Amino acid sequence: MRFANPNILFLLILIPVFIIVIGFSKFQLRKKLNKFATSKFHDYILQNFSNFYWNLKNVLLLLAIFFLIIALARPQWGKEVQIVKKEGIDIVICLDVSKSMNARDIEPNRLERAKDQINLFLDQLHGDRIALIAFAGESFVQCPLTDDYGAAKMFLELLDTESVQTYGTDIGGALQKAMQLFSEKNKHKVIVLVSDGEDLVDNAVKIAKEASQQGAQIYALGIGSTEGAPIPVEKENGDISYAKDDEGNIVLTKLDVSTLSQIAQIGNGKFYPITPQQSEIFAILKQINQIEKQKFDSREYVRYKERYNYFVILALVFLLIDIMIIPRKEAEYKRVI
C-alpha cells in the first residue's frame, strides 16, 4: 500500500491529543459532579451512567477520526500499467530576429507580432515536437525538439533583436540549421519560416531546394508590409533614430514577398503574408495537420488504484454507531426529587 498524500498522515498525532482531552474532560466532569450535585442526584447519575458505553463511544469516535485521516492520505494499492504511444510531427520554427524585425509597420513591431503568432501556433499543437531557431546574420538553436510547449514559450519570450550579434539576415543558414535537427528516421520534416524575407546572403532559395530534396516541407509566414517602414535604432540616451544607408538616407525595410514565396513553393509548402485578421498561422496549422503523424516513442505509465473510499465508509460506520450509543445502563429512569 502507498499513499498519494503521505503528509496528511502527520494528522494522526492528533489522536493521542484527543485521548488526553477526553480523559481530562471526564475527570473535570466527575470533579464538578462531586462538588455541586446533591447526594441523591449524584447516586442516581452513577447508578445509570455506564463507563463501558462512554468508553466505547470515545473509541468509536477515535476510530472514525483515524480512518478519515487515512482516507485523506489517499491510500492506493493495486496498479494498472498503461502504455501511451506518442505520435506527431517534428516541426522547426525559424524566427528572424534581425534588426529589420524592429520595424513598426505592424504593431507593436514585427518581432513581437511574430512571437504572438508563434505562441498561437504552440497553443494549438497536440503531441507534435517543436524546436526553435533564431537567426539574423547567423543561426542558433534556441530550443531543441521538445513536446514541452511551456518551455518552448519561455525560450521564445527571451528572444529579441539583440539575441544574435552578427548583423544581416541569412535565411539559408537558418534552413540548414533546421535540417540538422531532424533525424534521418523522420518521414516528414516541417519547417515554419517566420521572417520579413529580406535575405542579405541570397542563398535561401538554393538551400530550400536542398531541404525539399531531403523531404522537408517549408511554410513561410511573412511579417511586415510591402510599403515598408524605417528601422528604429535606440540611442544610448533613450532617443529613437532610424537606420540610414551610406549616403545618409533612411532605410526602408519591406516584406519580400518574392523570396518567401519562392522558398515556400520550392519547399513544397505555402507562403502566407500576415494580415490584421491573424488567421494565417491557423492556415499553416491546417496544412500541417493533414500530414501523416509518425510514432516518436512509447511511454509506460503506472496508475495506482484509489482505495480511500473504503476508509471513508469505515469512518462513517463508526461515527454512525457512536451517535446511536447512549452512555447509560439498561435501566428505567427514575424521577429525582
CB atoms within 10 A of CB 164: 22
Residue that wins the pLDDT comparison between 117 and 27: 117
Residue that wins the pLDDT comparison between 45 and 81: 81
Residue that wins the pLDDT comparison between 278 and 228: 228
Q: Which three cell numbers stand for residue 335?
A: 424521577
Do 103 and 328 touch, CB atoms closer than 8 A? no
Residue that wins the pLDDT comparison between 22 and 310: 310
pLDDT band at 33 (very low <50, low <70, confident <90, very high): low
Q: What type of residue sits at position 198?
A: E
Residues 6+ apart with CB under 8 A from 150: none
The C-alpha atoms of residue 204 and residue 103 are separated, in whole angstroms, by 22
Interval 17-33 mean pLDDT: 79
Q: Does domain 90-292 have CATH number 2.60.40.10?
A: no
Q: Is the pLDDT of residue 30 over 60?
A: yes
pLDDT band at 223 (very low <50, low <70, confident <90, very high): very high
Closest CA to 2 of 302, 301, 304, 300: 304
Eight-state DSSP code of residue 9: G
Do 178 and 191 touch, CB atoms closer than 8 A? yes
pLDDT value of residue 212: 94
CB atoms within 10 A of CB 326: 11
Report the number of secondary-structure helices (H) and strands (E) in the chain: 10, 13
Interval 36-49 mean pLDDT: 57
Do 224 and 250 touch, CB atoms closer than 8 A? no
Q: Is the pLDDT of residue 139 over 90?
A: yes
Interval 279-300 mean pLDDT: 84
Size (the chain), residues = 337
pLDDT band at 38 (very low <50, low <70, confident <90, very high): low
List, in sequence order, the alpha helices (H) in the chain.
14-36, 39-48, 51-72, 110-123, 149-157, 171-181, 204-213, 257-266, 280-289, 308-324
Instruction: Report the DSSP pairing between strands 252-253 and 229-230.
Output: antiparallel
pLDDT value of residue 329: 59
Report which listed range, 143-152, 271-280, 325-334, is most confident: 143-152
Closest CA to 274 of 203, 193, 200, 159: 193
Interval 118-122 mean pLDDT: 96
Residue that wins the pLDDT comparison between 334 and 256: 256
Going 112 to 117 to 121 to 124, the CA torsion angle's sign is: positive
Q: For 197-206, 284-293, 300-309, 325-334, which range has the lowest pLDDT when averaged over its residues?
A: 325-334
Instruction: Report the DSSP pairing between strands 129-135 and 229-230.
Output: unpaired
pLDDT value of residue 332: 44
pTM metric for this prediction:
0.67
Phi, psi of 38 (to 5 degrees): -70, 160
Rg of the chain over Cα atoms, rounded to whole angstroms, equals 37
pLDDT band at 331 (very low <50, low <70, confident <90, very high): very low
Intra-chain end-to-end CA distance of the chain, in Å:
59
Going 44 to 48 to 51 to 54, the CA torsion angle's sign is: negative
Q: Which three cell numbers stand for residue 67?
A: 480512518
pLDDT value of residue 268: 94
Do 244 and 251 touch, CB atoms closer than 8 A? yes
Q: Is the pLDDT of residue 297 over 80?
A: no
Closest CA to 196 of 133, 277, 111, 131: 111
Q: Is the pLDDT of residue 140 over 90?
A: yes
Interval 52-68 mean pLDDT: 89
Q: Is the pLDDT of residue 36 over 70?
A: no
Interval 88-98 mean pLDDT: 96
Domain-by-domain residue ranges, the chain? Answer: 2-79+304-324, 90-292
pLDDT value of residue 298: 67
The C-alpha atoms of residue 192 and residue 123 are separated, in whole angstroms, by 15
pLDDT > 90 in the chain, percent: 60
Q: Is the pLDDT of residue 249 over 70?
A: yes
pLDDT value of residue 170: 95
- For 252, the 3-state DSSP assignment is strand
- For 49, the 3-state DSSP assignment is strand
Do 243 and 235 touch, CB atoms closer than 8 A? no
pLDDT band at 100 (very low <50, low <70, confident <90, very high): very high
